[in-house]
């Protein structure tokens, strides 16, 4: 019967605290097995160790006598254990009839306790009594698996807090080992790793790939070799671990794309103070639809493993994709670094090419050449889904079979200002009409953005809004269009922009995220 079956909590495990003996056991365990383990595996070993101790204690105690149950009969000379009194042991030295008119006949036994005192206890007592059904030594009555299911998380949390502050242990790729027993990897062997990566175009190479060409002691078990080598590579600035979680892959840092090591200029966002509470439900819906990596939105899981991104100017220009929450959930995560190397697969041609996830700066790099081949424009729909191989992402633009020309907002620079008009331009992919912008000369737009670097958001918004209002007979501007065009000259997520619209007297809401320009009072 399990603890959960009885509906009882085990006080021993509920009040679990890691002891020095537990740590000593883990050290011996790691030394004997000669391999690193995950935190969860070590926590389970602690549960197994404590369970084994409980079983030994139970056998030792029960070998000395019977557990006291008031309903049972006892004989002179018999030894009785009292678990509810801290496992006190006593010898029965007398048994006599009890005398209490409120109870049916029962016995009273006198015991000489191992504490030196004598006490009397009822025996053969009729009726119900809590001690007749009390459960003792629960840890020994259930399996290690049952205990770990119930208390493993608690043990794991305690263990993590201890190991992270202990100088005895080190962690690599979420595995732990004893620091003093980690193999030292000679500098010459690390030079071999650098040469191998150099010949591989920078990488990526799994840790096991280095072991095949390195001269490391044969008597060291392979798991410990891998752990020791990964520990050495992590401490050497020449190497970068770029594998997805669960897979250690190495790359030469000096051969990584510059746009991976350093955030592209157009993607850099300097946080703009704003009052998020001003955003109503309609505004928050737009923020969610914009897929901006710097928006404070919640993760949305795709039901069909398909995610669609509307391409913004900063990412179109930088050859990147945003790592907005629901988009980030599609891409691989990392164990040791914020840079992850993976594989893109063209959904049409099945061609593969490398991609990089840059977690800290919230973007995916590696699409400049693909954007050019696909002839996508700002506002184009980009579809993403998992490939069959782990760490691969299928990417596809919604290509238009026959080339056509569409009337699109077109941005250019005239007299040091952003000039907007509607022109007919060739399109090759499906696009979001609210976000689409043609940019014939992006170099001029980028140069203007540099000139406007010190301009306030309010000033930029005023200029962009008036430029867009002039394209419509109603002079109404949709917030998604405003967001898309504003990002030509300043990296801004939707919330700060929407906050200005909500607080400024210059703008009036027309509903459904459309706005009109009221002007200065």
Domain boundaries along the sequence of the chain: 3-61+138-175, 71-128, 182-256, 276-400, 406-517
The reply to whether CATH 2.40.330.10 applies to domain 276-400 is yes
Q: Is the pLDDT of residue 288 over 70?
A: yes
At 16 the pLDDT is 79
Q: Is the pLDDT of residue 413 over 70?
A: yes
Confidence band, pLDDT 50/70/90 cuts, at residue 447 = very high
pLDDT in tens, 451-487: 998 999 999 999 999 999 988 878 899 999 999 999 9
For the chain, give the percent of residues with pLDDT over 90.
37
pLDDT in tens, 425-446: 999 999 999 999 999 999 999 9
Of the candidates 366, 160, 400, 137, the one whose C-alpha atom is nearest the C-alpha of residue 264 is: 366
At 135 the pLDDT is 62
Cα–Cα distances in Å, from 314 out to 202, 267, 311, 478? 27, 6, 9, 20
* Mean pLDDT of all residues in 227-234: 87
pLDDT in tens, 381-391: 999 999 888 77
At the top level of CATH, the class of 406-517 is mainly alpha
* Mean pLDDT of all residues in 216-235: 85
pLDDT in tens, 194-224: 999 999 899 899 888 888 888 888 888 888 8
* Mean pLDDT of all residues in 339-368: 93
Same topology between domain 182-256 and domain 406-517 = yes
At 2 the pLDDT is 40
Q: Is the pLDDT of residue 62 over 80?
A: no
C-alpha 404: how far from its chain's center? Answer: 44
At 482 the pLDDT is 95
- Pairwise CA distance, residues 142 & 199, whole Å: 56
- The 10 Å Cβ neighbour count of residue 228 is 21
Q: Alpha helices of 348-441 — where are they, by DSSP H?
A: 368-374
More confident residue, 302 or 236: 236
* Mean pLDDT of all residues in 1-11: 43
* Mean pLDDT of all residues in 228-232: 87
The reply to whether CATH 1.10.10 applies to domain 182-256 is yes
Of the candidates 249, 395, 389, the one whose C-alpha atom is nearest the C-alpha of residue 319 is: 395
- Pairwise CA distance, residues 358 & 375, whole Å: 25
Q: Is 172 helix (H, G, I), strand (E, B) or coil?
A: strand
Find residue 397's DSSP bridge partners: 382
pTM of the model: 0.73
At 1 the pLDDT is 34
Mean pLDDT (the chain) is 86
Q: Tell me the torsion sign for CA atoms 479, 482, 484, 489.
A: negative
Q: In CATH, what number does 71-128 get? A: 2.30.30
Candidate ranges 177-186, 266-275, 314-323, 503-512; pick with highest mean pLDDT: 314-323
* Mean pLDDT of all residues in 350-364: 93
Hunting for tokens 């004893």 — which residue is that?
A: 178
Q: Is the pLDDT of residue 3 over 50?
A: no
* Mean pLDDT of all residues in 283-295: 90
pLDDT in tens, 122-153: 888 887 887 777 666 554 567 888 888 888 88
Q: Is the pLDDT of residue 58 over 80?
A: no
Q: Is the pLDDT of residue 521 over 70?
A: no
* Mean pLDDT of all residues in 59-70: 76
Residue 80 structure tokens: 């009785």
pLDDT in tens, 245-261: 767 888 999 999 999 99
Check: CB of residue 104 under 8 Å from CB of residue 125: no
- Pairwise CA distance, residues 77 & 54, whole Å: 28
Interior CA angle at 203 toward 197 and 208, to 5°? 75
């Amino acid at each position: 019967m399990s603890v959960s079956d009885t509906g009882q909590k085990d006080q021993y495990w509920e009040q679990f605290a890691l002891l020095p003996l537990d740590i000593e056991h883990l050290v011996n365990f790691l030394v004997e097995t000669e391999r690193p383990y995950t935190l969860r595996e070590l926590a389970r070993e602690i549960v197994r160790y404590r369970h084994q101790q409980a079983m030994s204690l139970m056998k030792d105690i029960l070998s000395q006598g019977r557990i006291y149950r008031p309903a049972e009969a006892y004989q002179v000379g018999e030894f009785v254990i009292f678990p509810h009194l801290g496992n006190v042991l006593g010898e029965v030295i007398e048994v006599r009839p009890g005398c209490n008119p409120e109870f049916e006949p029962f016995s009273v036994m006198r015991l000489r306790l191992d504490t030196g005192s004598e006490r009397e206890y009822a025996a053969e007592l009729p009726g119900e009594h809590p001690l007749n059904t009390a459960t003792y030594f629960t840890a020994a009555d259930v399996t290690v698996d049952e205990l770990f299911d119930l208390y493993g998380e608690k043990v794991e949390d305690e263990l993590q807090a201890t190991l992270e502050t202990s100088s005895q242990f080190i962690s690599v790729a979420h595995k732990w080992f004893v620091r003093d027993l980690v193999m030292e990897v000679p500098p010459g062997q690390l030079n071999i790793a650098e040469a191998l990566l150099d010949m591989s175009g920078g990488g990526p190479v799994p840790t096991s790939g280095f072991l095949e060409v390195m001269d490391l002691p044969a008597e060291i078990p392979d798991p410990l070799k891998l752990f020791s080598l990964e520990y050495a590579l992590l401490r050497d600035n020449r190497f970068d671990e770029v594998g997805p979680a669960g897979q250690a892959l190495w790359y030469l840092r000096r051969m990584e794309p510059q746009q991976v090591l350093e955030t592209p200029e157009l993607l850099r966002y300097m946080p703009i103070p704003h009052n998020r509470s001003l955003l109503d439900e309609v505004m928050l819906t737009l923020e969610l639809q914009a897929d901006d990596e710097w928006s404070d939105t919640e993760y949305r899981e795709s039901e069909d493993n398909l995610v669609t991104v509307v391409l913004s100017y900063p990412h179109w220009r930088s050859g990147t994709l945003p790592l907005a929450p629901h988009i980030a959930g599609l891409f691989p995560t990392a164990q040791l670094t914020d840079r992850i190397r993976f594989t893109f697969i063209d959904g049409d041609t099945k061609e593969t090419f490398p991609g990089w996830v840059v977690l800290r700066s919230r973007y995916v790099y590696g699409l400049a050449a693909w954007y050019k081949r696909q002839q996508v424009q700002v506002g184009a729909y980009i579809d993403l889904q998992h490939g069959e191989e782990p760490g691969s992402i299928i990417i596809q633009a919604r290509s238009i079979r026959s080339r056509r020309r569409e009337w699109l907002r077109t941005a250019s620079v005239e007299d040091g200002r952003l000039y907007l008009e509607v022109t007919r331009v060739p399109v090759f992919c499906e696009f979001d009409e609210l976000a689409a912008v043609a940019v014939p000369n992006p170099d001029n737009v980028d140069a203007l953005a540099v000139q406007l670097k010190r301009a306030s958001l309010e000033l930029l918004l005023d200029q962009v809004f008036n430029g867009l209002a002039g394209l419509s007979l109603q002079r109404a501007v949709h917030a998604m269009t405003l967001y898309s065009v504003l990002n030509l000259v300043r990296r801004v997520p939707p919330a700060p922009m929407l906050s200005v619209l909500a607080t400024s007297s210059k703008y009036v809401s027309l509903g459904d995220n459309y706005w009109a320009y009221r002007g200065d009072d």
